[in-house]
Structure 1
Amino acid sequence: MKNVFSIRYKIFIIYSLLIICILIFTSVITNQVTRNANVENAIQTSQRELALIMNNLDAKITHIFDYATTVAVNPNVIAMLKKYKTPPQSATAQYQLRTTLNKSVNSILGINRNIAMWDLVAIDNKFFGASGYNTAPTAAVLGKNYFSNINPKNNCIIQGPFMITEDIPNNPTIPKMVVSKSVVDLDNLATIGYVAFFVNESSFAAIFEENMPADTQTSFYVLNENNIVLSSSEKELIGTDFSVGEHISEENYRQLCENGNMILSGGTGSTDILYTSKMYEGTNWRVINAVSLNSLLQGQEAVNRFTLIIGILACVITLVLSFWVSYTISKPIHTLSNAMARVSKGDLNQTVITHSKDEMAILYTGFNNLTKKVRALLDEVYQKQEEKNQYQLQLIQSQVKPHFLYNTLETIKSLVDLDLNETASEAISALAVFYRISLNNGNDIISIQNELELCRQYLYIQKLRYQEYLDYRIEECEGTENWCISKLTLQPILENAIYHGIKEKQTKGLIVIQLKNLEDHLIFSVIDNGVGMDSETLKNLQNSLRDSCENDHLRSFGLSSVNRRIQLLFGKEFGIRIESVLHHYTKVILTIPKEPYFPSIK
């Protein structure tokens, strides 16, 4: 009974842990995938909102520029600026000028909420006061030569923000943007004055406030080309450097500008912030939107709670089911284990009896049949395994010879001595790849893709040694990573082609590896245009392949080893056949079945 309970609890614990681990892994992956999807959606949503804001910003600035251009070409405006090079001193002239300009300009502007106030500026940078607004605080902030210094020529220019203290109760300081447009004399195209529009920062801020969702923690920033904040939901940052105010490094800011979006940590105890950025080409302004990821991922918390509840219920159900399964399985396994224990002591006449008709009955029947045949099978398996191991060992020893490593190292040393360091480095890499694939963590079966790569590195190394004799080409097909082959199958064939075909020719030779993909099997062809073989030699070699004769000829031994190994693995219908014409070519044809490749997990 002790063993019964032991296996029962083993099954219970393993089954429970397995299912719980799967549940936890699934929950973590689901949470991560969901979060990534939500973050991606948040980025796309933020970019769409920013694109809409950019369109509205472009429309607003374009309208203001259009108004400024229209006022600048108004005949009455041009006439007044031509008449007065500087604002008139007499009250009568001032009244006449203000009346004329107000009538002309106000008919153009109408009720425009974007323009806080306007005025005309003389060529000497003095304000006319034509609009009736008190422009003295603005003139003081701009300075005496502001309009002359910016030299707008005939283009609209917008600059700011200028922190202007209004001459009204409480003296509030309001950031303003100045839109200026030169007025030219149409007769000689000389600048005779300027149109100045003053736009409150709040006019630009309204674009963001009207288009941002009300349920998200969102901040916006409009920056000029010098990284100075022109407009923002964080009013205290207006006029300051954005990177300094937001504590963003120069590298992060550069990446934000290049990528268009970035997620930065808000620090310990703070939420992550999603920044999205777009450039407004019209004024070289950069618009940045910053939103808290927590406000965008509120639905993620609900998903996490739901996943946690489902996970707890699944774990409870798993524990109950695992206990029941362990109890059901343990009893018949205990019976079978006792019989197997007696068999392990040499009693091959053991049989087990069951009255059930489930899978355990099939297992019992299989065990009974197995004990009847095991003696004969053991003898056969031992014999074949011994033979197979012997051929595998002989093949590896005969192909991956120490002298190949020594010769390659000598070649690399020669390359280094000749100061061909790059070629030496490539040779070392090729040697490393060759031995890595040939060792293959002790596994004898590799993918055809790796076998071809092993051949490629081997031929590359040999070509370094025999540059005057050897060239090669590999013609492969698709899907080589899906089929398997015994490792070091083609290498002995290539070695024979080099040493018994190409090298003996004493002239430049070519080795071609071809792979053909047929319906249910693969055909490798290794062709060299070396010395070839006469009919008698070819016949003897074919006989040695058929009889697996390991005679003293190196050519025969290598090919016989490969042929025998292929037949042990895949059957008598597969293996090697050879075609050759003396002084023309030798072609070794290897046929194997299409066996799927399943990489071993180490």
Structure 2
Amino acid sequence: MKTRVIHLVSSLSFRDKVLLIAITCLILPAISTFTVYNYLTKDAVKEQAIISAQNELKLTDEYLKKVFEDMLYTLNFIQLDTELNTIFKYPSSAIASLQEGTEYEEFINDQKVQQKLDTITLLDQKAYVTILLNNGKFYTNYSFHEFNPLNLKNESWFKILSKLKGYRSIWIAPQPTMIASERKNNQFQLSVARPLRDSNLGVYGYAVVTVMENRIIDILSSENTDHSMVLLNERNNLIVKNHYFDWKITEKMSEKLGRNTLDVMTIKDEKYLINSRELSITGWKLISLNPYDHAISKINAIFKRLFLVQALAYILFLILLVFLLRKILNRLVDLKNLAKKVQNGDLSVRSEAQGNDEIATLSTSFNLMLDKVNDVIEENTLTLTRKRQAELAMLQAQINPHFLFNVLNSIRMKVMMKGDYDSAGMISSLSKLLRITIDKHKGMIPFREELAINKDYIRLMNMRKRHVIELKMEVSIETSNIKLPRLVLQPIIENAIIHGLNEQEGHILIKAKYSHPIFTIEIEDNGTGMPKEQLKRIQGSLSHSEEEYSSQSGRSEGFSSIGLSNVYERMTLTFGENFLMQVQSEPDNGTKVSMFIPIQEEENHV
């Protein structure tokens, strides 16, 4: 029998073997899972019922916390409002003997206080505010006929207020409703009280904020429509209950609930799932009582439906697994056929396999390899084209050098014979600039020669302009012999003169240092700078230097025609993609162009 099974399995194809293994590995865990699942369902049902009740309790706690925070906020507003404190601490009656017209001032102050109190509400529920001052005055946002606020001084808790320290408050509940118009719909109310204290005057009054029980009942009922919920104070006395709480709590039962945190309790021969949560602000306890059978009925039904869904899912997954495995294995065949075409020299083919599995990853790598080969071919062609474009941009300014230099030297000699040495110097600087510009044999020059070129350029600009531009240099000696492409600083300096300094008086600072392997050059002016939008466009042109360079290659604007993008293009072609060029500028704070040049070989030094 064993031999027959081995022979049968060995006769299967690779695809059938994979399918057989996959089906076996799916069915065996499914049988084990259903067995264990049936055994553990009972405990899971109870655990899920407890978690569900705790989540409802947490949500209700958040709503209650919001109401209590709003009540404290009202007290803080009364305690910290500058205008209210001034009126409360120094009432007009206290200075009546010192100033005339205090009755009118007192009337105005009372109106200000009353106006602020009338606007105090808690979300969609009105808050009743009472302020009692030691001088006998009081303020409320309700009618005196509804309740005499002076009666609060007779309450037992009122004596505790003056003993409180700082901004501490006391919560009072349960408390019979004091507002006459609210007694019909609210048997109880909740209040928070605080003494009004000043570091110099001591306690000068008291503030009380009150809300009706309906507000709390609405919260307890809104999220718990199918079970009971109660709120107990720190002494385990009932504060408020929702409408679904249909049995009377005795003092003994209240204490039992207060001690309970999480359990199943039997009340009147019925089991209840008890959950308790302490409110962080008041220290009161929020307790939910959910009939146990009702609590687990929904979750138990969910588990049964889940069991059925899982059984159906296993069947569907089995069918889907067979289909997908066949499809995946067919993709391997397709990939093998594609490799044969590439082997025959066809680099245009691509794999169309999609997904995140190993076959798709292999197909993607295969496609990337083909793309890389094509990119290398295209990049080599593009690099040659770009080098030719850069050379063409430099050659556009060339003219016959022998004729031009002979003419310039003749002019310089005649000017010197006439005693105009400044003009002769200007012609000499121009001759040097033209010579280095059109000398096609000097592609790379030492950095010291580049600095000398720009000194001549600044000298020429100062001779033709009314405003003198000062060129400053802070250059390390080790940078002198580093080779750079010629005329990489001049376009940047020209832009600084024309656009940064607006051809006005100013200075340009060139800094250079070499810290292996990075050669850093900074060109900074003290001009007008540029706005963020313009700076962003310039920075963008450096990341699209090829298009920028191509658009400029057809224009002729003197030395500045090369432009920042042309400088970036030439430096990138010379030093590779690790070359970095940055432009920093702020309005009225000048502009700084920084170049970070990788120097990898000793051949870069003369």
> What TM-score, normalized to structure 1?
0.38
> What TM-score, normalized to structure 2?
0.37
